[in-house]
Amino acid sequence: MTRTILTLEQMREAEQAAECSLGELMERAGEALAEAVALGSAPRAVLVLAGPGNNGGDGYVAARHLRDRGFDVRIAALADPKSDLAVDARTAWDGEVERLGDDTKPAPILIDCLFGTGLSRPLDDALAATLMRLAERAEFTIACDLPSGIETDSGALLSDVPEYDLTLALGALKPAHRLSPAMRHCGQVAVADIGIDAASDWFEIAEPVLPPARPEGHKYDRGLVQLLAGEMPGAIALAAKAAARSGAGYVRLFTSQPIEGLPDAIVQTDQGSVQDERIGCLLVGPGMGDIPVLITLALTAPKPIVFDADAIRHVGDPERLVGHDVILTPHEGELKALFGDIEGSKADRALVAAQRCQNVVVYKGADTLVAAPDGRLGFAPPAPSALATAGTGDVLSGIIATLRARGMDAFEAACAGVWIHGRAAERAGDPLIADDLIAALPDLT
């Protein structure tokens, strides 16, 4: 299921637009937190850390529900509650409240309700150290809405942040749940439905639905991927094999030097034209090297194109792509080479890049994003860090070119390719080499 991602501002608007009172939202949030803990553990000792805002308020509510469920609950508060809602939640808790400090004793279950979306500055050093110590000593750690110390819209760590087992996002995911470096600190991320219903163009990329192959269809229905090869046979071979193995009906390689060891089914030729009507998608960049004329050639074709790797560096001016049907797949360095320095969070940068070239941009990294010029932004679910090896990008561009050749819309094809690539990495194990990904592509028929 696709999970919506809301920024701080959107979250505040959604909270105001909710049909129930803010107090009711907090009650549901605290109850969901208690439920998440009870799902993961039999009743035992729990320490709730409560901050001064509404994240702390959620903690007092959760404490009450956990005690009702038979848990032995202690609360350690950083300060007295400041917001009206948190004061009410504190009042409804008739147990003791400790003062959080160096001498706070750990418990096997730690619930972090210090700060959520309202964090505005780093935690004090002493507080961050206490949080780290208590998390280290706990067996199960859960963060309410966000791990404390994380900036919600950028995913930046403002101070030391533990790595939690579970983060319960309230109402919707926030950008930080799916942006580096924050995402690695969240652990598993579940979303609690507390009755907030907000639409957004930002979402977590989910398992794609691929266009079904017509039983009576021919190879061109399944898509002809046309690669324009360059100087480095290894990268070209990876992209071509990935395209073929992800279901292209036909993969053809324009090359002046045949590449050895490729399956016979991948046609290699030094003849042919990019004007061929039957081409579903052109792929240029993997192994391209220093042959920028290939970009010029590809842009003469009235067909979808995927530009990867060296092709991105050689485009020159992003505006050159306006009016063409292109998917760009840059990593950090390639994005900078083409678009220069862009201000803002990774999400902002992805959208600005897509706007400037008026095409879909797959901004790769540990937190891959897929941006469309109309403002849609897909955030990849976490993928194994083993993907950070040579050639995995060539495989990704091969997969995306096939999906585009099969007739998927550019944004959908890019999102689907990113999802498939991540799942292939999970199946391939760690360590992996790019070739393993091709063998581990999931069956999506």
Ligand X SMILES: NC(=O)C1=CN([C@@H]2O[C@H](COP(=O)(O)OP(=O)(O)OC[C@H]3O[C@@H](n4cnc5c(N)ncnc54)[C@H](O)[C@@H]3O)[C@@H](O)[C@H]2O)[C@@H](O)CC1
Radius of gyration of the chain (CA): 25
431 is in an annotated binding site: no
Of 100, 144, 350, 410, the residue at the interface with K ion (CB under 5 A) is: 144
Enumerate residues 154-183 that contact ligand X by CB under 6 A: 170-171
The entry of K ion, ligand X, none that residue 25 binds, CB within 5 to 8 Å by partner kind: ligand X
122 is in an annotated binding site: yes
Q: Closest distance between K ion and the C-beta of residue 147, in Å?
A: 6
Find all residues with CB under 8 Å of 332, minimum gap 6, and list them: 364, 365
393 is in an annotated binding site: yes
Q: Binding of K ion at residue 152 (CB under 5 A)?
A: no
Q: Binding of ligand X at residue 145 (CB under 6 A)?
A: yes
Q: Which stretch binds ligand X (CB under 6 A): 21-29, 207-215, 317-325, 358-366?
A: 21-29
Of 27, 112, 153, 310, the residue at the interface with K ion (CB under 5 A) is: 112
246 is in an annotated binding site: no
Q: Longest C-alpha distance within the chain, in Å?
A: 81
54 is in an annotated binding site: yes
| Residue 389: alpha-carbon gap to chain centroid | 19
Q: Which stretch binds K ion (CB under 5 A): 34-42, 146-154, 242-250, 287-295?
A: 146-154
| Strand ranges, E, within 119-160 | 140-144
The conformational region for residue 79 under phi > 0 = left, psi -120 to 50 = alpha, else beta, is beta
Q: Binding of ligand X at residue 4 (CB under 6 A)?
A: no
Find all residues with CB under 8 Å of 7, minimum gap 6, and list them: 152, 153, 174, 175, 202
Of 143, 144, 191, 283, the residue at the interface with ligand X (CB under 6 A) is: 144
Q: Closest distance between ligand X and the C-beta of residue 70, in Å?
A: 24
| Strand ranges, E, within 78-235 | 98-99, 109-113, 140-144, 166-170, 188-192, 202-204, 224-228
Interface with ligand X (CB under 6 A), residue total 30
Q: Binding of ligand X at residue 115 (CB under 6 A)?
A: yes
Separation CA 211–CA 402 (nearest Å): 12
The entry of ligand X, K ion, none that residue 112 binds, CB within 5 to 8 Å by partner kind: K ion
The per-residue b/e assignment along 230-240, b for 16 or more CB within 10 angstroms, e otherwise, is bebbbbbbbbb
Separation CA 97–CA 79 (nearest Å): 10
Interacting residues with ligand X (CB under 6 A): 11, 15, 25-26, 29, 51-58, 82-83, 115-123, 144-145, 170-171, 194, 196
Residue ranges of the binding site for K(+): 55, 112, 148
